[in-house]
Amino acid sequence: MINAEKLNKLVKKKEVALLGGGVKRIESQHKKGKLTARERIALLLDSGTFEEIGMLVTHRSTDFGMEEQKYLGDGVVTGYGQINGRLVYVFSQDFTVFGGSLSETHAEKICKIMDLAMKTGNPLIGLNDSGGARIQEGVVSLGGYADIFYRNVQLSGVIPQISAIMGPCAGGAVYSPAMTDFTLMVEDTSYMFVTGPNVVKTVTHEEVSSEELGGAKTHASKSGVTHFTANNDAACIRMIRRLISFMPQNCEDDAPVYPYETKSSELREKLAQIVPQNSNTPYDVREIIEEIADEETFMEVHKDYAENMVVGFARLAGRSIGIVANQPAFLAGVLDINSSKKAARFTRFCDAFNIPLLVLVDVPGFLPGTDQEWNGIIVNGAKLLYALSEATVPKVTVITRKAYGGAYDVMNSKHIGADLNFAWPTAEIAVMGSKGAAEIIFKNDIAKAENPEVKLAEKVDEYTQIFANPYRAAERGFIDEIIDPIQTRIKLINGFKMLENKVQSMPKRKHGNIPL
């Protein structure tokens, strides 16, 4: 029988470990509106499923009197547990211990669960709240970061990796989240930057607050570094639980299928009302998505960044899909640098993790201008073209209205490997809009005409009759079926079901060379 004294020693140690940096620092964390590392894990995982690994680890540092300051766990809580009954690995940095700073042993703990996640093929979730490299440790801390970065790359495309930023995240520490699949930030209490406001001021003489430089809103709207923002820790954690529900455990697995009872009618009358009569009048593509997807399943990704493109997860008859959609309500849904990058990155995630893609098209073309050209719309637009071309998951397209020029090719056309291409009768599939086209090809006729304006209108009408519709494309087989909008949902359910066992392999190579 186990000696009570020995058992007691263990119980005492655990009690100490559970307190992290102590009651005072826990209070200070709460005062900032933040939860502790352990409270976050408790909210993230199904109740009672957390198994901790490395609770009694301490640092090995002896400089600056550090041997006198040891905290069990060394500033990060690591282990595994379940989300809706599915296994995940988690690390949660404890700001109450040396500000959650990363020591050699802190890094080793994170690497240990990353290795387990790799070996067993299950997602990794990191809850970041850290003052960066443990300043007292110097280069071993930097080495610890690099050990994590290296593993992030090894795990990329093998298991889903999610990073929540729930406090400071500065210096090179930002690069681990940047290499994971999705980043979430908590408003007002988190920030991310490579160099903070003081360094910025010294080097560039700019005066900027932490919030403005690298707060949640900045990264959600200006840089696109974060995919989601939440207004507090609990909301952020709920988002992670929801996000993971769309994903498989690893690249060889399929996303979970949720129970879905087929309704007596899957027709959606509202879909016939959304696209306005005038093809230049905007509408919100989210209204179409809401009608197509299973009720309240759409989870938008990168909502406030490059709003001319909408991307996100949803379920269709209980199964996960990724949606990439032009947004006519913002800049007429034009393709530009940021929207191409946003959609390409999302497409690649879905393809890596066997999530079928639905592409909704209403695009007037690429955004013209020096700003776009000088910043590389050519290589950046090519990212989306490349990502959709290389994706081997089931790919289905619905053209609701405009599909003009190169953007027609890029937006999951038949030519780049889409499996099923639908168009609504409102679709206009052409090299460009009718007015622009008529002005170019009938330039001389219009110039010579008695009344050029009337002539132009006549020619615009002629071009519209011939090309501003989906029938030429359907004649060629570039469109598989022109459908009544109200049928869209049922057509997609059937189409994705038909494609369920799609197998497509790519040519043998080390890896492609996406235009970065």
Active site members: 171-172, 406-407
CB 133 to ligand HXC: min, Å:
4
Instruction: Give the Cα separation of 195 and 168 in Å (integer).
Output: 12
Q: Check residue 215 for interaction with ligand HXC (CB under 6 A).
A: no
**What number of other Cβ atoms are within 10 A of residue 270's Cβ?**
13
Q: Find, among 384, 394, 383, 387, the residue nearest to 418 by Cα.
A: 394
**DSSP 8-state class, residue 259:** P
Stretch that binds ligand HXC, among 84-92, 131-139, 435-443, 453-461 (CB under 6 A): 131-139
Tokens linked to 369: 């201008």
Report the residue from 16, 58, 115, 172 that binds ligand HXC according to the rule CB under 6 A.
172
Question: Least Å distance between CB 65 and ligand HXC?
Answer: 12
Q: Is residue 145 within the footprint of ligand HXC (CB under 6 A)?
A: yes
Distance CA 302, CA 224 (A): 7
Give, as one character, the DSSP assignment of residue 307.
Answer: T
Taking the least distance from each CB to ligand HXC, the nearer of 34 and 227 is 34
The two three-digit tokens of residue 455, written as one number = 């002539």
Among the candidate windows 166-174, 284-292, 389-397, 448-456, which touches ligand HXC by CB under 6 A? 166-174
Query: Does the protein bind ligand HXC through residue 132 (CB under 6 A)?
Result: yes
Q: Fill in the per-residue mask, 101 to 130: x = in contact with ligand HXC (CB under 6 A), - = not in contact.
A: x-----------------------------
Instruction: State the nearest-atom distance from the C-beta of 108 to ligand HXC, in Å.
Output: 15
Q: Is 133 in the site for ligand HXC (CB under 6 A)?
A: yes
Q: What's the min distance (Å) between Cβ of 189 and ligand HXC?
A: 10
Q: By CB under 6 A, is residue 197 in contact with ligand HXC?
A: no
| Residue 73 makes contact with ligand HXC by CB under 6 A | no
Based on C-alpha coordinates, what's the Rg of the chain?
Answer: 26
Asked if residue 170 binds ligand HXC (CB under 6 A), the reply is yes
Bridge partners (DSSP) of residue 404 are: 430
DSSP strands (E only) in 187-296? 191-193, 228-230
Closest separation in Å from C-beta 100 to ligand HXC = 7
Q: Which is nearer to ligand HXC, 171 or 312 (CB)?
A: 171
Site for ligand HXC in 7-26 (CB under 6 A): 25
- Using CB under 6 A as the binding rule, the residues of this chain from 396 to 455 that contact ligand HXC are none
Applying CB under 6 A, among 73, 171, 248, 433 the residue interacting with ligand HXC is 171
User: Token pair 């050699």 is at which residue?
Assistant: 104
Q: Using CB under 6 A, pick the residue from 50, 91, 98, 228 that binds ligand HXC.
A: 98
Q: Which residues neighbour 194 within 8 Å (Cβ) at sequence distance 6 or greater?
A: 170, 171, 172, 174
Based on the shown chain and the rule CB under 6 A, indicate whether residue 135 belongs to the binding site for ligand HXC.
yes
Long-range contacts of 473-477 (CB under 8 A, 24+ apart): 473/423, 473/427, 473/429, 474/423, 477/414
How far is it, in rounded angstroms, from Cα 500 to Cα 307? 31
The SS3 of residue 361 is strand
Nearer to ligand HXC, 95 or 353 (CB): 95
Q: How far is the CB of 257 from ligand HXC (least distance, A)?
A: 40
CA distance 55 to 80: 13
Residue placing its CB nearer to ligand HXC in the complex, 147 or 390: 147
Residue among 85, 78, 168, 194 nearest 126 (CA) = 78
Q: Which is nearer to ligand HXC, 107 or 324 (CB)?
A: 107
The pair of structure tokens assigned to 84 is 């809706």
Number of residues that bind ligand HXC (CB under 6 A): 17
In angstroms, what is the minimal distance from the CB of 96 to ligand HXC?
7
Nearer to ligand HXC, 168 or 177 (CB): 168
Buried b / exposed e along 371-393 (16+ C-beta atoms within 10 A): ebeeeebeebbbbbbbbbbebeb
Beta bridge partners of 168: 191
Sign of CA dihedral 72, 76, 80, 81: positive
CB of residue 149 vs ligand HXC: minimum separation in angstroms?
Answer: 7
Distance from the Cα of residue 36 to its chain's centroid:
26
Instruction: Return residues touching ligand HXC (CB under 6 A).
Output: 25, 98-99, 101, 131-136, 142, 145, 168, 170-173
